[in-house]
């Protein structure tokens, strides 16, 4: 039987079958140290005997086969931080995963707050505005999680655990059980656990998803992690253009023509300088 590893804890691996029934299993052979939540495995008599090839692997903690990352931030409490969002986007883009920008606590937002997100929408990112407290906007997000392996990331206090409570398929686990399992804070969670969502999707919180360091990124590749820059990169006069100071730079011209937002361009320059200093 082919199964999906939902969590690994205490020397046991919990594996879901195609109907999302969960089995507590052990592992035979040398693959014990190479199986992570998100992996697909071959199961026989509740023993894992084979690891199927994976398409991706995140680290800190190790999670396999993720294809979507929900970057969860809030409008207030804590206040929305553009630089933090851009840092998350760079990390997710570098990992070649699909980022979904989830903005929670719109019940606390002031009128016109959507304006500050227009440049992200123009860049092609998917945004979801919701209030977990008032159960608004959650259904739109749910529809895009099916048939995907999803993980959440974001700072403490933005409502990630409460959001997972709403996303988990009710017929798979009662909300009370989810709340009990997730009541520990993001900083004290010790393992990754995938929970079933509608339409054969999975979602997990990501304790220690990243240190938010971007030192592993080279300054010259940063431009590729700003999608709105891509149409202009081959139009600069110099092939090695950094888009910061060179003449006849198509990216800077696009900023002047309002085709790229000033805020996003300033974000790029700030991160470029940070990488140069490193």
Q: What percent of the chain has pLDDT over 90?
A: 76
Residue pair 160/69 in contact (Cβ under 8 Å)? The answer is no
* pLDDT average, residue stretch 114-120: 95
Q: CA distances (Å), 274 to each of 21, 34, 81, 91, 145, in order?
A: 47, 35, 18, 14, 34
Could you tell me the pTM of the whole model? 0.88
Q: Name the token pair of 89.
A: 């986007």
What's 58-205's CATH class? alpha beta
* pLDDT average, residue stretch 188-212: 77
Q: What is the pLDDT of residue 97?
A: 93
Q: What is the pLDDT of residue 180?
A: 47
In tens, the pLDDT along 40-78 reads: 999 999 999 999 999 988 877 789 999 999 999 999 999
Q: What is the pLDDT of residue 271?
A: 97
The mean pLDDT value of the chain amounts to 89
* Residue 223: closest CA among 255, 195, 198: 255
In tens, the pLDDT along 232-274 reads: 999 999 999 999 999 999 999 999 999 999 999 999 999 999 9
Q: What is the pLDDT of residue 169?
A: 65
What are the sequence ranges of the domains in the chain? 2-53, 58-205, 219-277
In tens, the pLDDT along 85-94 reads: 999 999 999 9
Euclidean distance between CA atoms 8 and 37, whole angstroms: 6
Cis before residue 263, ω within 30 degrees of 0? Answer: no
Architecture of domain 2-53: Beta Barrel (2.40)
* pLDDT average, residue stretch 125-133: 97
Query: CATH number of the domain at 219-277, please?
Result: 1.10.40.50
Does pLDDT of 173 surpass 60?
no
* Residue 199: closest CA among 266, 142, 264: 142
Number of helices (H), then strands (E), belonging to the chain: the values are 7, 13
């Amino acid at each position: 039987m082919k199964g999906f590893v939902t969590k690994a804890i205490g020397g046991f691996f919990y594996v879901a079958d195609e109907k999302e029934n969960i089995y507590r299993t052990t592992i035979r052979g040398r693959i014990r140290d190479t199986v992570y939540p998100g992996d697909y495995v071959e199961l026989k008599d509740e023993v894992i005997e084979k690891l199927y090839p994976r398409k991706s692997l995140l680290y800190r903690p190790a999670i396999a086969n993720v294809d979507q990352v929900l970057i969860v931030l809030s409008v207030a409490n804590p206040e929305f931080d553009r630089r933090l969002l851009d840092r998350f986007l760079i990390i997710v883009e570098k990992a070649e995963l699909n980022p979904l920008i989830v903005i929670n606590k719109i019940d606390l937002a002031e009128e016109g707050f959507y304006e500050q997100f227009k440049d992200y929408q123009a860049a092609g990112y998917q945004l979801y505005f919701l209030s977990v407290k008032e159960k608004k906007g959650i259904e739109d997000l749910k529809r895009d999680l099916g048939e995907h392996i999803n993980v959440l990331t974001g700072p403490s206090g933005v409502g990630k655990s409460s959001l997972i409570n709403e996303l988990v398929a009710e017929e798979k686990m009662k909300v009370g059980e989810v709340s009990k399992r997730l009541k520990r804070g993001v900083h004290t969670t010790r393992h990754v656990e995938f929970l079933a969502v509608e339409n054969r999707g999975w979602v997990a919180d990501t304790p220690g998803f990243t240190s938010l360091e971007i030192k592993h990124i080279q300054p010259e590749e940063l431009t590729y992690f700003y999608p709105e820059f891509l149409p202009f990169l081959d139009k600069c006069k110099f092939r090695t253009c950094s888009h910061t100071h060179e003449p006849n730079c198509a990216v800077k011209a696009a900023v002047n023509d309002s085709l790229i937002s000033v805020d996003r361009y300033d974000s790029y320059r700030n991160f470029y300088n940070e990488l140069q200093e490193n």
